[in-house]
Amino acid sequence: MTGFRKLTVLGLAVLAGFLAITIDTKPALSHGERTQEPFFRMRSMQWYDVTWSKTSVGVNEEWEMTAKVYLMKDWPETINKPDLVYVSLLAPGPVFARTESSLNGIPARQSFRDLKLGTVYDYQMKLVGRVPGRWHVHPEIAVAGSGPLVGPGEWVEVTGSASDFAFPIETMTGEKIANLETYGVLNIGMWHLIWLAIAAGWLLFWLLRPLLIPRFLALQGGREDLLVRRTDVVAGAMLVVVSLTLIFTSYYLGVSKYPNRVPLQITVNEIEKDIEQPPDDLDITMKRTTYDVPGRALRMIFEATNTGSSPLTLGEFSTSSLRFVDKKVPQAMARVAPDYPREWVPEGGLQVSNNAPLQPGETRTYTVEAIDVAWELERLTSFLTDVDARFGGLLFFYEPDGRRHLTEISGPILPVFTAGDMVSQNETGAQVAAVSQ
């Protein structure tokens, strides 16, 4: 009785633990990209101008996601170069159906090879709602051997009933398929049942025979001739004949019904014509970059020379989908759409020491601060413990008429922990500015 009581108590404890885990649970809302190392996100692909045409769609309703993605010249040596990539999207499962996708206007049904570093690519994806719910969707480009590199995400709600979803298409031969999702399912199910029946019959044939012990004893007695009887040979031959007959018959039926056949495609696309690149009329020389650990601030000191013909004003620093915008620059604020996800536009913004327009031919030393708790929330501060301890991102400068200039910035980064370190940094910045003047 004591043993029975112990088992009962143990069973109740297991049941209580199970109920504690399953009852009143809520779906996880964390972002998978936060698990990637900062060097992977900051120094590979920089996404910007990301748009979601709709944030609420019905089942079967089409919407579009577009973006531009810049491939950093300071690509990490520890991950594969973008020699083979695939254009996709990041969502919690097949909750959307893709109807069209492209990179630089080239259909992205297949992979692309040999993307160039220091180049901007135009990403486009058209989708339709498939599964009702509220889903977080990101643009994505997967690099062979390294994994997916994703851009900022937005919540898109799909309304309606999943049973109403249909994916109609018209084939090259003019055949109209009402729903690609269910097309051929009955035929596939029939053939699965046929082969499962054959496999079950063959297994049953041996299960009805004496198995382990009698066969072991026959081997021990040197009577291997008893293991395979004439009945076994006949049954095996019949199985081969039936299997081959089914294979050739199904092949003949398939060829007769579908005379126009296309093999699986394994070719890789190449982008021969690039889109127009944004101007980069700036020479940037990094002087010093630190991360203020208690203040949650990235501080950069760099020298910029305007090599163009128009005055330029620094308006934004973008990295890992975070957009640090100088709110005093109207041209930069005009680029932040009112409905753009606020989680990707840190409230702290961008603080620039002297943000008067940089005149053509002028050289100036900038002290720039990107301050916000987003560095911690996005788990980007571990760049301080990376083996190379480097950061990367994009600087956006603006002409008075709003035309944008894009330039890459990257370099080593050091942590500071105390006020004394911060004072030393400020003094260093002042000395650099004095020398440059």
- CATH code given to domain 32-170: 2.60.120.570
Composition of the chain by helix, strand, coil, percent to 5: 30, 35, 35
Do strands 297-306 and 313-319 pair parallel, antiparallel, or not at all (unpaired)? unpaired
Residue 425 has pLDDT above 60, yes or no: no
* pLDDT tens sequence across 360-393: 999 999 999 999 999 988 888 876 676 678 899 9
* pLDDT tens sequence across 181-202: 888 899 999 999 999 999 999 9
State residue 435's pLDDT score: 28
> Above pLDDT 90, what percent of the chain?
54
84: Cβ contacts below 8 Å, ≥ 6 apart: 111, 112, 113, 143, 144, 268
Q: Which residue has the higher pLDDT, 26 or 79?
A: 79
Asked if CATH classification 3.40.50.10860 holds for the domain at 185-257, the reply, yes or no, is no
The average pLDDT across 403-414 equals 92
The whole-angstrom separation of Cα 341 and Cα 323 is: 11
The residue extents of the domains of the chain are 32-170, 185-257, 282-436
In total, the chain counts a number of residues equal to 437
SS (H, E, C) 298-348: EEEEEEEEECCCCCEEEEEEEECCEEEECCCCHHHHCCCCCCCCHHHCCCC
> Above pLDDT 70, what percent of the chain?
87
The answer to whether residues 198 and 239 touch, using CB atoms and an 8 Å cutoff, is: yes
What the block records as the tokens of 30 is 């964390």
Q: List, in sequence order, every residue forming a beta bridge with 58; answer none if it has no partner.
A: 159
The neighbour count for residue 131, using CB atoms within 10 Å, is 17
Q: Is 171 helix (H, G, I), strand (E, B) or coil?
A: coil
CATH of region 282-436, choose from 2.60.40.1580, 2.40.50.100, 3.30.750.24, 3.40.50.2300: 2.60.40.1580
State residue 426's pLDDT score: 46
The answer to whether residues 103 and 274 touch, using CB atoms and an 8 Å cutoff, is: no
Residue 1 has pLDDT above 50, yes or no: no
